[in-house]
């Protein structure tokens, strides 16, 4: 059910947000459907809070509204910030690359660049592919979290075997120190990934997807330790990923190359260097357009209680 006082305030904000000369009160009344007496009360409060200002000829957006609008227009989305660095990453490595964006416990591929004739013509991981931020996935992101949050990440994954938990205890500190992770490749895992993709596209339930995740853990060697990387003549690699950071150091996604083949130790090292450099460049682009500070709220008595409860 619509809450009329809140709706009237939002209608006034929408009317004042349109570019042009100041709006007379009669025009705002026509645009919002509110009475003049109601608008007098709403606009007076908005003027006190700098969300609206009165000029000769009418009303326009106030300084606080314009500040919010300018901050939002300056925001750069991750896919756009990553596009050119991702193309350079593919040129440097000859390997298809993707960028993940993390939100609400999931990490989704928001852009992908194929490697042309040098390898596959398209990435193995397509735009829209989703990975849960749940152990053992998204390690390069979780490794940057405080230890208590890493523990929660581990505890939220009931399908982990004891051996998988022990392995994560070993590799996570090393991932945190070096700043990147490696996904290992086995024939069984490749078949499992194909199965998982078909399950996602068929709309299968969460229970089956969770079981596929459990099988992934059982059939895979999780990441690689520094000692394994230095001693191996070659290594089966699905992907190499490094986190993308905002100016405050918070990881908001990751970039990755997806070779999906065996690589020599030297080739892995080159891929790691290139991915880390790409992640740093994307992070710098985001830092140049920092996420705006939390927008100033409307006066409390103009906000519906249910909305206020969701915002807390």
Indicate the pTM of the whole model: 0.62
Look at residue 295 in the predicted model and tell me its pLDDT. 44
- 253, 100 Cβ separation under 8 angstroms: yes
In this predicted model, what pLDDT tens digit does every residue of 194-252 receive, in sequence order?
Answer: 565 555 555 555 566 556 555 555 555 788 998 988 888 888 898 999 999 988 888 89
Reply yes or no on whether the pLDDT at 172 is more than 90: yes
Compute the distance between CA of residue 300 and CA of residue 165 in angstroms, rounded to an integer: 47
Closest alpha carbon to 171 in 150, 199, 195: 150
- 96, 112 Cβ separation under 8 angstroms: yes
Compute the distance between CA of residue 123 and CA of residue 82 in angstroms, rounded to an integer: 16
C-alpha dihedral sign at 255, 277, 153, 230:
positive
In this predicted model, what pLDDT tens digit does every residue of 23-77 receive, in sequence order?
Answer: 999 989 988 888 888 888 889 999 998 899 998 889 999 988 888 776 655 445 8
pLDDT band at 302 (very low <50, low <70, confident <90, very high): very low
Look at residue 184 in the predicted model and tell me its pLDDT. 84
DSSP state for residue 244 in the 8-state scheme = E
Compute the distance between CA of residue 248 and CA of residue 214 in angstroms, rounded to an integer: 34
- With a CB cutoff of 8 Å and minimum separation 6, the contacts of 225 are 170, 171, 174
pLDDT band at 281 (very low <50, low <70, confident <90, very high): very high
If you average pLDDT over residues 142-154, what whole number do you get? 88
Look at residue 19 in the predicted model and tell me its pLDDT. 76
In this predicted model, what pLDDT tens digit does every residue of 124-139 receive, in sequence order?
Answer: 678 888 888 888 889 9
Closest alpha carbon to 243 in 158, 164, 140, 173: 140
Maximum average pLDDT range among 21-25, 110-114, 204-208, 273-277: 273-277
pLDDT band at 163 (very low <50, low <70, confident <90, very high): confident
Task: Outline where 49-186 has alpha helix (H).
Answer: 63-74, 78-93, 139-142, 147-155, 162-178
- Kindly compute the dihedral angle of the four CA atoms of residues 5, 11, 14, 16, in this order, to the nearest 10 degrees: -90
Count CA within 13 A, CB hemisphere, residue 200: 14
Reply yes or no on whether the pLDDT at 312 is more than 90: no
Cα–Cα distance list, 48 to 41, 63, 181 (Å)? 11, 11, 52
């Amino acid at each position: 059910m619509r809450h009329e006082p809140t709706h009237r305030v939002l209608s006034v904000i929408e009317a004042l947000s349109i570019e042009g000369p100041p709006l007379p009160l009669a025009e705002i009344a026509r645009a919002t459907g509110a009475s003049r007496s109601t608008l007098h009360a709403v606009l007076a409060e908005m003027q006190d809070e700098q969300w609206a200002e009165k000029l000769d000829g009418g009303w326009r957006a106030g300084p606080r509204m314009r500040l919010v609008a300018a901050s939002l227009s300056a925001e750069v989305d991750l896919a756009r910030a990553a596009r050119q660095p991702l193309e350079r990453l593919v040129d440097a490595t000859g390997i298809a690359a993707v960028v993940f964006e993390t939100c609400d416990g999931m990490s989704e591929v928001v852009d992908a660049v194929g490697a042309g004739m040098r390898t596959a013509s398209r990435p193995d991981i397509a735009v829209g592919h989703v990975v849960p931020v749940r152990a053992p996935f998204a390690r390069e992101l979780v490794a940057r979290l405080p230890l208590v949050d890493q523990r929660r990440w581990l505890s939220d994954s009931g399908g982990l075997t004891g051996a998988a938990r022990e392995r994560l205890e070993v590799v996570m500190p090393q991932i945190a120190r070096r700043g990147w992770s490696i996904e290992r490749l086995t024939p069984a895992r490749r078949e499992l990934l194909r199965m998982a993709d078909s399950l996602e596209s068929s709309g299968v339930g969460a229970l089956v997807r969770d079981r596929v995740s459990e099988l992934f853990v059982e059939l895979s060697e999780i990441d690689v330790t520094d000692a394994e990387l230095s001693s191996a003549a070659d290594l089966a690699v699905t992907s190499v990923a490094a986190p993308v950071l905002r100016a405050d150091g918070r990881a908001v996604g990751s970039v990755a190359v997806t070779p999906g083949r065996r690589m020599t130790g030297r080739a892995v090292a080159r891929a790691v260097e290139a991915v880390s450099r790409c992640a740093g460049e994307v992070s710098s682009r985001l830092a140049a357009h920092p996420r705006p500070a939390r927008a100033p709220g409307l006066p409390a008595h103009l906000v519906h209680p249910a909305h206020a409860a969701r915002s807390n």
